[in-house]
Chain A
Amino acid sequence: MTQNIDTTISCAEFQDHLPELFANANGVPDDPTLKHHLNTCENCAALVRDLQYIADQARMLLEPAEEDPSDSVWSNIQSKMELERAEVEAATPPLPSQ
């Protein structure tokens, strides 16, 4: 006996499942209803492809940009470090004399 599965859902219903679908299965559904919609709806298939593509392309950004902070950042860090070192030294009691 063949089981009849209602495979008709709207694009809105399909797209409501996308956050979870991408979180668990990278946009590829196991659910027959969702799978059927994805296979038969050109628009949603294109949407899923684009979202997968964007997620994949984001990895390009893992490597740092070819851009350094300005030199003033290091100058400021150095100044503040020196100040903090001086404060620590000033707060440290002198060694007892021999």
Chain B
Amino acid sequence: MIETMSSESTPSTLQGLPPTQPPATDGPAKGLFKRNPPIAGEAEAIEAAKAGDPEAFSKLYALHKRRVYTLCLRMLGNVSEAEDMTQDAFLHLFRKIGSFRGESAFSTWLHRLTVNLVLMQLRKKGLQLVSLEETINPDDDSPKRDFGSRDPNLTGSVDRVTLERAVASLPPGYRMVFVLHDVEGYEHNEIATMLECSTGNSKSQLHKARLKLRELLRETGQPLQPAVLKEAVR
């Protein structure tokens, strides 16, 4: 399910990162597909930027800065670090754009490059992303089991801002897996490769992330569960 960027050199040549996996045959993940609509003028800008045209690179920055920054912000949970990482991502792009051969959507390629840079940065800081989850998710942060102590009859909906805030307050390991899987559309096997953990660990971490989000949203008094989902469990 990893996009067809495995033969593009930039993301897989980031030092210290695992190589990207070969592409699956069944097309991009839902999330990856949705973020790859053709962008008018992008192809021309890429070619011009490869030839060293500063204006073209400026256009690529304008086209993609928000998505890259948003991704960094969600993964890092900190504005200052997200801006630094956005800067690093585009500088890396500047150095490596010549290796982009158009085998995948440019936005997918840039997205993966950014994810890899963020993960590399977190590793440099000594953060164990998943494999030692107990160290990054101390007991206080672990989601509580739910055995009937709460009112199950919640109604209402969660708005985007509330959810953004709740995601930002997740412990780093939970946040990383939640953003990569539920927001960005990566599959567990891809996440396992990126985070150097097992797929079971990725699934477990995602489940705990959702449990923790549920707790956080309840604490903020944000009701859950729209009517449409009532059908899903029947």
Interface residues of A (CB under 8 A from B): 11-12, 15, 18-20, 22-23, 26-28, 38-39, 42-62, 64-65, 67-70, 72-74, 76-78, 80-81, 84-85
Select A49's contact among B163, B200, B207, B233, beta carbons within 8 Å: B233
Query: Contact between A20 and B211 (Cβ–Cβ < 8 Å)?
Result: no
The smallest C-beta distance from A53 to any residue of chain B, in angstroms, reads 5
Q: B67 — nearest CB in chain A belongs to which residue?
A: A64
Q: Which residues of B contact A64 (CB under 8 A)?
A: 66-67, 69-70
Could you give 23 example pairs across A and B, Cβ below 8 Å? A15-B146, A28-B233, A43-B146, A49-B233, A50-B214, A51-B207, A51-B210, A51-B211, A52-B229, A52-B233, A54-B210, A60-B160, A62-B31, A62-B185, A64-B67, A64-B69, A70-B83, A73-B65, A73-B87, A77-B87, A81-B54, A81-B57, A81-B94
A-B contact sample (8 more), CB < 8 A, given A19-B203, A62-B185? A15-B145, A53-B158, A56-B229, A58-B178, A62-B34, A67-B73, A73-B86, A80-B91
The smallest C-beta distance from A73 to any residue of chain B, in angstroms, reads 5
User: Can you list the 10 inter-chain pairs with the closest CB atoms, starting with the nearest?
Assistant: A46-B152, A58-B182, A19-B207, A64-B70, A43-B148, A64-B66, A69-B69, A19-B203, A23-B203, A11-B147
Interface size class of B (residues with CB under 8 A): 35 or more
| A62–B157 alpha-carbon span in the complex (Å) | 18
Q: Which residues of A contact B232 (CB under 8 A)?
A: 26-28, 48-49, 52
Q: Which residues of A contact B34 (CB under 8 A)?
A: 62
Q: Which residues of B contact A81 (CB under 8 A)?
A: 54, 57, 91, 94
Q: A82 — nearest CB in chain B belongs to which residue?
A: B54
Q: Which residues of B contact A43 (CB under 8 A)?
A: 146-148, 150, 152
Query: Contact between A45 and B224 (Cβ–Cβ < 8 Å)?
Result: no
Q: Mark B60-85 against chain A: 1 for CB-CB distance below 8 A, else 0.
A: 01000111011001100000001100
Q: Which residues of B contact A19 (CB under 8 A)?
A: 200, 203-204, 206-207
Q: Which residues of B contact A62 (CB under 8 A)?
A: 31, 34-35, 183-185
Query: Contact between B224 and A50 (Cβ–Cβ < 8 Å)?
Result: yes
